Amino acid sequence: MQNVKSIYADNVQVQMDKADINSTICWFCDKIDTEDDKTEIYLQKLLNTNIGLTGNKYEYLVLSRRIPCCRICRRTHENARKWSSILMTLGGIAGLLAGLILPFVIFLNLQITPGKNFNTIVICAIFGGIVSGGILGYLLGRKIAFALAPGTKPETYAGQHPLIEPLMSEGWRIGKPE
């Protein structure tokens, strides 16, 4: 009797054999001949959830598929990850500073003495500043990276590739489980 993982692996292999995997045109820009240069896309599917006293444990099936990707697009994807991480951190720090300073400026201008409500406002402003700064930094980093390489599609576009699209319709998701 085969286990579930081997059945899934066999099914995916059959689908992979049917798909056109010999293309050398970059999937993300449709322009450049990749000369057998491919990027690895990881897919995950939740297989089982074990509920325990110390927390839930999740079992995933993990697959990887290689799709054509030129060096320019690969570099753009790496830059997008790098810039979004850097700007997300800087945005969080800027949000923290704004969350610390803004409530004090407001209360000093209104000449209200700090009390119980003041502490709540400061905590909410700090939390809101960190979260909004981080989100804006992340989005800005991705925009900058893709603006420097026009015509490059984001990595999520890989979900429409003939090797990956049938898997996505069966419940697979792009990414590695944590």
The DSSP string of 90-138 is HHHHHHHHHHHHHHHHHHHHHT----HHHHHHHHHHHHHHHHHHHHHHH
One-letter amino acid for residue 41 of the chain: I
Q: Read off the pLDDT of residues 152-176 as tens digits, 9 standing for 90 and up.
A: 888 888 888 888 888 888 888 888 7
Q: Read off the pLDDT of residues 42-83 as tens digits, 9 standing for 90 and up.
A: 888 888 888 878 778 888 888 888 888 888 888 888 888 899
Helix (H) or strand (E) holding 70: none
Sheet holding 55-68, edge to edge: 55-68, 38-52, 173-174
d(CA 6, CA 144): 42
| Long-range pairs of 5-13 with CB within 8 A, sequence gap ≥ 24 | 5/47, 5/61, 8/45, 8/61, 9/63, 12/63, 12/167
Nearest Cα neighbor of 168 from 75, 50, 43, 62 is 43
- Averaged pLDDT score across all residues of the chain: 79
pLDDT of 38 reads 80
| Per-domain boundaries in the chain | 4-73+153-174, 76-147
Task: Give the mean pLDDT of 107-135.
Answer: 75
Reported pTM: 0.67
